Structure 1
Amino acid sequence: MYPKSLQDVIEGEVVGQGYHSLVKQIQARIENVKRSTSPVLQKRKQGGSDDTDEVTPEKRASVQDTYGCIKWDMKFLPVSETLETQQEKKERMKILSEQTSFSHEEVKTLMKCTYYSQRKAINSGADMQTLKEEWPYLFQAIGMTVHFEELTGVPLKETFLTSLEKKGKRLLDFLKTTCADKSKRVLEAVIELQRGQLKGCSEDLKDMMLLLLSYFDEKEETLFHYADETCLAKEVQVESLPVTPCIIGCGSSCFASRLFMLSIDHKVVNDQMTDFISAICLMLGSYYCLNIHYPLELGSTLEFLQRVKGGGTAKTQESLSRLVK
């Protein structure tokens, strides 16, 4: 009798088939009902610390939040592998990581073959320093890309770039016009960006990230930290950084930075990223690959990026509107 009562409509346009939101709500309800009533890990309190060290690494890793993952935990070694061959390949990657030149294809193959051992180390609660020493390529784009695709079945950077190409301009236009009219902070961010706006995919992504943070009224310093242009990894004041993944730009701002680092658990795990897109992909991938919860201060921004990565262009505005509500 009332076909439009639950229909997805934005500005008079039916989004997708018109019932995507209702279906997703029903699916989420089913997932929630199936969840255990006694969570293994206590949730962080609203407004409290986002310090991941509040719980032990073992407890943190035991929370099997496998949403979006297809191989979160492997029970058995691949047929062609033994514990001895896994160790040999791990040692081979350690040697390659110390060389200035290496075969990218060899590293990809080794990372794929040792995925079982990587997951066992991560899920057992190994600390960040141990993981970096034992699996150095896990914190580089070449290694995390392989691990992320094995974990989720989705190519990380390719999927992100495709989404950016399809939805980036529309999202930016939406944030700079409709959202700027409704939010003082977004308007201020738009004015600031227009003063020194550059062109290019990487710069568009910088605009997008800063505008999303403004729109959701979330803290930029939880995601971005800035150091001197000539700053080395060992000179970064890691004590002032959050424990969750944080991008360090070597410059006074996103737009002034031409070198980026990634910090996790107060440790600089990668200091050789020369473009912003790689830094964002590595940061997003680390949440999945390393079993890290989204911090309260960035929850909406990160969840929005996660949601719209696989949807259509019209769903971008829908996701934005629903997250705000």
Structure 2
Amino acid sequence: MDEHGVEKRESIKSNLLRMSGRRSAKLLVIVSEDDSRKLLLPDGIPESVDELVEKVREACGLKGKFRLQYQDKDFGDVFVNLTNTGELQSLCTLKIIPLPDEESFTVQTNDGTQSNDDTLSSFGSGDTDDTIILSPPGSETVSTRNQQWPKEFNIPRFSYDTELQLERGNSLFKANGTRLTVAPKMKSDILEKICDEIYKYKSYPSSANFCEVSEALIKKHPCLAEKGSFNGCYGWTQRFKMKMGNLRTQLKGLGCPEFLANSLKTKASDNAFPAKNVKRPKRGEANHIPSVPAGVSSENLETERLALLKEVKKRNNACTIREKMTKTFALRRREVVENQPSVQELQERWPALFQQEEINAEFLRITTLPLQSRFLASLDRQSSQLLQVIRSKGGVLREKTKDTIKVMDQSLDIDIRRECLLKCLIMYLGEDASCLIKEYQADQREEAEREFEKTTMAVFVIRESDALSHALDISIVIDGVEVLNKLPSVACACTMMIGLIYALNLKYPEGLKYTFEAFQKILMDIENKQMSRRVQNLSSKLQE
């Protein structure tokens, strides 16, 4: 065999070895707000981003320019631009971001039709990297938070002399196990710097949060481990708690609104005890009661609110409404949390708050996380495992869910399948799906409207006939008031209800508390360190 033939054979052999070393991969691709698809890669994840883009384009029937983003685990599953496929693993989530181009961006749907980029323009407000600004120019405040509590707490750098002592102490500890004797000045520096870092994420950290911080401190500086403590950091945990309490007292004296709301002078009752009417974040609200921007008075914000009432009546005015809603965020949150007005009063004073795009935007301002895309992507990603868990149950649950699962198996519509999966989830958690999703036929519309007045919180669905038929109308009713209607799907309605609960600072409905806890802690991945036993059991089975 000639030299050229040998080289060709070796090239083919090396390519076969390289291909055989790759493992097949599955990726979830979020094409639009209500369109997520599974991408199968038998040869594994491509080595270049361009090659992956072409595979996504081919699999989803895309036309026009777009870029890909992926969920970065290091930053709390925030979507980040993809520049290297080495960041990806099987079961990762990708999101398509259309780019401006002469050719309109189009998507081939499952039935072969084409949809243009108007669908993606409403893709979960705040989910792309250029659709929403938490703090526009002139509205920044030092108390405004822009991220959730991190997966791993990062210990900040201390003063130069403290860092020098810790460096020497860590060396001695590794050499002979000698622990460092912490001087009062050094201890004060550590507590002050770390509590400032804690405050960037939370004003009222939980005991679990304090434990995470103290464990991170000992992990980074093992010489600070304490003798006699079961984990070496119990004393640090107690010091952090006390220091944060002192910090809250200082900030309350400086007029910080999230602490003033809990002072005795501002309580509703004249003889209120300190623990009564406490207003603090309970569901991962990063910006529960933000401060008014520097140089802006409450009177200025009220003027903006009145101007906003006029802007809402104009057409094609989303950008102006978004800007004014962001400017008046502090005024609105203080009103919602401290005054606790009724839903009807809020509709009159803040009508823009009850628009689908603004609910997404408000949720992002409060939690720093996208709402609709995160919920739907998580539901789609966990759908197969969730369905497997539900199917594995027998007895009463199997009897209750068999009709819903039958409808799900018969339908190819992603909205119907999501709706059925949510109903099964509610029943799995031992709650009544009809308490959340109330279904009526077209000739029962008047009966449904009469039911509005008796409803605390529910999604009303008007259908033509059977469960497989397209919904004529989907609306959300809270405290007897219809706050949203003509929603595209039941899954979308559930996300909007979550957003409204946060935006209006409402409690979870008593008969659906496990359902909304699962929505928050499993699907949205917010404050998932502590769960009820029922939700924890489901979460564990989904991770098996």
TM-score above 0.5, yes or no: yes
Residues 1:172 and 2:379 aligned together: no
CA RMSD in angstroms, aligned pairs only: 3.5
CA distance in 2, matches of 1:304, 1:173: 17
Residues 1:291 and 2:505 aligned together: yes
Q: 1:229 aligns with which of 426, 442, 445?
A: 442
Deviation, structure 1 residue 237: 2.6
| Deviant stretches of 4+, over 6 Å | 28-31, 58-61
Change (3 A) 1:254 1:141: farther
Q: Which residue of 2 aligns with 1:82?
A: 297
Q: Which residue of 1 aligns with 2:323?
A: 109
Q: Which residue of 1 aligns with 2:428?
A: 215
Q: Which residue of 1 aligns with 2:351?
A: 136
Change (3 A) 1:253 1:301: farther
Structure 2: runs of 5+ lacking an equivalent:
1-150, 152-205, 213-237, 242-267, 270-275, 530-534
Question: Any idea what the Cα deviations from partners look like across 1:273-322, whole Å, max 9, x if unmatched?
Answer: 232232111111122222222223112121112111255xxx9x965166
- Matched AA of 1:190: K
Residues 1:200 and 2:413 aligned together: yes
Higher-RCO chain (CA-CA 8 Å, sequence separation at least 6): 1
Q: Which has the higher helix share?
A: 1
Q: Which residue of 1 aligns with 2:494?
A: 280
Deviation, structure 1 residue 254: 6.0
Verify the 8 A CA contact 1:186 1:211 in the aligned structure 2. Answer: no
CA distance in 2, matches of 1:246, 1:194: 24
CA distance in 2, matches of 1:89, 1:285: 23
Q: Which residue of 1 aligns with 2:202?
A: none
- Matched AA of 1:198: S
- Matched AA of 1:161: L
Q: 2:307 aligns with which of 92, 101, 110?
A: 92
Deviation, structure 1 residue 114: 1.1
Change (3 A) 1:185 1:116: same
Aligned residues: 266
Change (3 A) 1:77 1:68: same
Verify the 8 A CA contact 1:304 1:319 in the aligned structure 2. Answer: no
Q: 2:538 aligns with which of 307, 316, 320?
A: 320
CA distance in 1, matches of 2:210, 2:468: 42
Structure 1: runs of 5+ lacking an equivalent:
1-19, 35-57
Q: Which residue of 1 aligns with 2:401?
A: 189
CA distance in 2, matches of 1:83, 1:226: 44
Verify the 8 A CA contact 1:149 1:155 in the aligned structure 2. Answer: yes
Question: Any idea what the Cα deviations from partners look like across 1:156-209, whole Å, max 9, x if unmatched?
Answer: 11211221232123212332x213xx3423344234431473223322221111
Aligned with 2:397: secondary structure?
Answer: helix
Aligned with 1:208: secondary structure?
Answer: helix
Q: Which residue of 1 aligns with 2:59?
A: none
Change (3 A) 1:208 1:97: same
Question: Any idea what the Cα deviations from partners look like across 1:57-112, whole Å, max 9, x if unmatched?
Answer: x79975424330111012x311363334322332233223334x222222222211
Verify the 8 A CA contact 2:438 2:460 in the aligned structure 1. Answer: yes
CA distance in 2, matches of 1:203, 1:320: 23
Aligned with 1:225: secondary structure?
Answer: strand
